[in-house]
Amino acid sequence: MPINVNLDLMLVRRKMSLTELSEKVGVTLANLSVLKTGKARAIRFSTLEAICAALDCQPGDLLEFSGKPAGE
Amino acid sequence: MTGPSRSPLARTLSFILAALWYLCLAWNAVMLAFLIAVIGGIKMPEGVVVMTPLPVAVTYLKESESSPGTVIPEERAIVVKGHTDIIVDFKEKQDRVILAVVMLILSLGALLIVRELRAILREVKSGRPFSAENPKRLKRIGWLVLALGPLEGGWAMWMASRFLDRLAIPGATLSINLMMIHFDSILLGLLILLIARIFELGVRLQEEQDLTV
């Protein structure tokens, strides 16, 4: 996937565990794991908003385009 | 994601399907025993007759119009039990074997359909109606319905065509009644296959939904 999720990186920077984030954001741990491991197909704006608010960061800090065009 | 369903409908359905399942099992056992008895040439107990309805229409002629019918030799005649629904008692072993085989296939088909239905209901009750298995189950049900209906109708029509001249009903002419063949099962089977396709789409959407955070 050309879009990488850097959730684990931001968690380390904010010294927060996934469980803690799950409680703050109101998204299940299972769903956050899906996001963290890069298995997610889509992310809701509401989820992105909540994570950004909880980690005090920008969407760009969480998502990164790796450069390869989609489908390769 | 919806939680497990505890609706009265689901409960009633699962009760009915469970009852149907055991009925089908018993039916299969009886049909198997029947087939073995027929092949083995075991005589039916006193009072047990091997009968089946045939898709035959009866037309009665007026007394004056009725011509003296052909006399059917006793051993070739087929005993007719009812006139509105032609029910015949098979005397020849070959006919009995064919009847037993068709009945066993039909009862097995019914058993398989009930089994798939119960499996679908189980998943609906557990809150996962769009599991990957359900479209496959629906497809199997669709093909079974599609195959079994014409088998039943076609077999009955073939039997009727063979027996038409051997049915002894005084003052009546007999013809094969196409309306008594279950053509509706073809429509039903196609409808089930269509629903299976719709369920396939549902499974894809469910997958997409599950992977959306």
Token pair, residue A4, equals: 């990488």
pLDDT of residue A1: 57
Q: How far is CA B43 from CA B1, B26, B30, B93, in A?
A: 59, 21, 15, 11
Considering the domain boundaries, does residue A32 fall inside one?
Answer: yes
Number of domains in chain A: 1
User: Does B212 contact A32 at a Cβ distance shorter than 8 Å?
Assistant: no
Q: Is the complex ipTM more than 0.90?
A: no
Rounded Cα gap, residues B5 and B126, in angstroms:
6
The CATH number covering residue A48 comes to 1.10.260.40
Residue B70 has pLDDT above 70, yes or no: no
Q: How many CA within 13 A on the CB side of residue B79?
A: 9
Q: What is the pLDDT of residues B125-180, one digit of tens each?
A: 998 889 999 999 999 999 999 999 888 888 888 887 777 776 666 666 777 777 66
Locate the chain B residue with the closest alpha carbon to A31.
B213
Provide the mean pLDDT of chain B: 81
Work out the minimum CA distance from A67 to partner chain B, whole angstroms: 23
Range of the domain at A12: 3-62
User: Does A40 contact B212 at a Cβ distance shorter than 8 Å?
Assistant: yes
Domain map (residue ranges) of chain B = 16-210
Rounded Cα gap, residues B97 and B57, in angstroms:
25
Locate the chain B residue with the closest alpha carbon to A39.
B211
